[in-house]
């Protein structure tokens, strides 16, 4: 029995010892995640900022730990169950006294510098205090203070992006130091009682408005007021404005503004259409004048070209005439030479003929002089008779069968009738 008790005591002692060892071992290290930082306070009171993720060792039961998420988010959202339907949305007032409720988120990133992280922990002690006492009030201050720098009209007409940029800029670099000043601006006047030479341009008058102006230093840079977050290296990484509910006055003002802008835009569009119509008519008239002038110039050019062609043709014709006349002159000169040659030739030919005739006549004369007169007469008679006989080659003569001779003495004898003289007589009466 005693042995059993001793065995039980030994086993219990082992279990207790093992449990104590486990507890001590479990409390001798801690794990830092990839999206968090840790602050370790040692037994001596010193603090260490742990920014590297992983397993870290500590003195069991004597060191204290505080963890912070690297990214902290402050949200301002609306709530339909709320009486005004704004929930945690922040009420802001603009530079022109209009107000509204704004909702969105501002995301912060804690510094990875261990010294700045320790200073932040000393100021806020834990993460809850950091969020409730640090980031939320600063976020509210940024939203409200930035709204005082712009007008509600500008915010409603596209100034939301500028608002977000200013919130992020001031959250990281410090708040702008501003001052409310009176500024001279030009506003459109009604035009009643004012002389306006240009009816398409509305008259303007001087007017003063109050604006929140950012103060600048001697170098022209904005003067700033440091925020607690900037001292601890906390940066704004994202600003999102996803909801805005303007008060009724601002909403009514914007609606009236929209109506006026729509009316003005319609008038401007009509004026622009009229202006464009006038410009179009003027351009059309200019085009017609240009086309008419071009047509006139074209016709003029055509006439000039035609006249030039005629002149060129006449010049060419005159040149051809000159060439022809030159050819004719050359031909005439050639003909003159030929005629002169022919004349000379004819002259010499006539002279030759004359000389020939004279020579032949001389020959004839000499022949006639050489022949006796009786012989010449016989020659002539011979030629004459031969010609007569030749003419009678085709002539038929029918002699009479009967011859009656009457008369007395002096009549020829029959023998005389057979003489060639009868043939001569008959030949004179016969036609060939």
Q: What is the 3-state secondary structure (H, E, C) of 154-175?
A: HHHHHHHHHHHHHHHHHHHHCE
What is d(CA 69, CA 315) in angstroms, rounded to the nearest whole number? 106
Could you tell me if 82 and 217 lie in one domain? yes
Could you tell me if 24 and 74 lie in one domain? no
CA distances from 69 to 46, 98, 235, 264 (A): 22, 38, 14, 53
Could you tell me if 34 and 147 lie in one domain? no
Could you tell me if 92 and 176 lie in one domain? yes
- Tokens standing for residue 280: 């179009």
Q: What is the mean pLDDT of the chain?
A: 78
- For the whole model, what pTM was predicted? 0.54
Could you tell me if 64 and 98 lie in one domain? no
Could you tell me if 35 and 138 lie in one domain? no
Could you tell me if 42 and 137 lie in one domain? no
Of 28-32, 50-54, 91-95, 181-185, least confident by mean pLDDT is 28-32
- Domain of residue 33: give its range: 2-68
197 lies in a domain?
Answer: no
Strands 175-176 and 224-225, bridge-based pairing: antiparallel
With 80 as the cut, is the pLDDT of residue 182 above it?
Answer: no
Could you tell me if 62 and 82 lie in one domain? no
Could you tell me if 165 and 215 lie in one domain? yes
What value does the mean pLDDT take over residues 68-94? 77
- Tokens standing for residue 246: 């303007």
What is d(CA 325, CA 51) in angstroms, rounded to the nearest whole number? 120
At 272-314, the pLDDT tens digits run: 888 888 888 888 888 888 888 888 888 888 888 888 888 888 8
């Amino acid at each position: 029995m005693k042995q059993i008790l001793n065995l039980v005591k030994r086993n219990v002692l082992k279990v207790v010892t093992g449990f104590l060892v486990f507890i001590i071992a479990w409390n001798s290290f801690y794990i830092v995640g990839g999206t968090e930082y840790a602050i370790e306070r040692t037994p001596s009171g010193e603090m260490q900022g742990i920014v590297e993720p992983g397993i870290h060792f500590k003195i069991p039961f004597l060191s204290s730990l505080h963890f912070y998420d690297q990214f902290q988010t402050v949200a301002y959202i609306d709530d339909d169950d709320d009486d005004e339907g704004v929930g945690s949305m922040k009420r802001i007032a603009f530079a022109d006294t209009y107000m509204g409720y704004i909702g969105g988120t501002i995301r912060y990133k804690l510094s990875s510098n261990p010294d700045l992280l320790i200073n932040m922990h000393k100021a806020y002690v834990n993460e809850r205090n950091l969020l409730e006492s640090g980031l939320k009030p600063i976020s509210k201050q940024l939203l409200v203070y930035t709204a005082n720098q712009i007008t509600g009209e500008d915010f409603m007409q596209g100034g939301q992006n500028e608002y977000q940029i200013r919130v992020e800029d001031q959250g990281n670099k410090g708040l702008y130091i501003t001052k409310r000043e009176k500024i001279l601006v030009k506003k459109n006047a009604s035009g009643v009682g004012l002389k306006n030479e240009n009816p398409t341009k509305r008259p303007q008058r001087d007017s003063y408005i109050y604006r929140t102006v950012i103060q600048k230093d001697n170098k022209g840079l904005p003067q700033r007021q440091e925020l607690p977050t900037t001292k601890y290296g906390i940066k704004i990484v994202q600003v999102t404005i996803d909801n805005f509910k303007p008060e009724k006055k601002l909403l009514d003002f914007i609606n009236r503004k929209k109506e006026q802008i729509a009316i003005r835009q319609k008038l401007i569009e009509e004026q622009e259409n009229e202006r464009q119509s006038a410009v179009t008519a003027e351009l059309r008239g200019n085009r017609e004048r240009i086309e008419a002038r071009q047509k006139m110039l074209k016709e003029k050019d055509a006439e000039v070209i035609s006249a030039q062609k005629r002149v060129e043709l006449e010049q060419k014709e005159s040149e051809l005439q000159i060439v022809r006349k030159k050819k004719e002159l050359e031909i005439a000169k050639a003909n003159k030479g030929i005629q002169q040659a022919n004349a000379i030739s004819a002259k010499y030919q006539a002279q030759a003929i004359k000389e020939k005739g004279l020579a032949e006549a001389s020959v004839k004369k000499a022949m006639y002089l050489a022949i006796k007169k009786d012989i010449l007469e016989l020659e002539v008679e011979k030629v004459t008779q031969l010609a007569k006989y030749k003419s009678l080659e085709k002539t038929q003569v029918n002699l009479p069968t009967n011859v009656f001779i009457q008369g007395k003495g002096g009549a020829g004898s029959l023998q005389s009738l057979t003489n060639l003289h009868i043939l001569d007589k008959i030949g004179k009466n016969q036609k060939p």
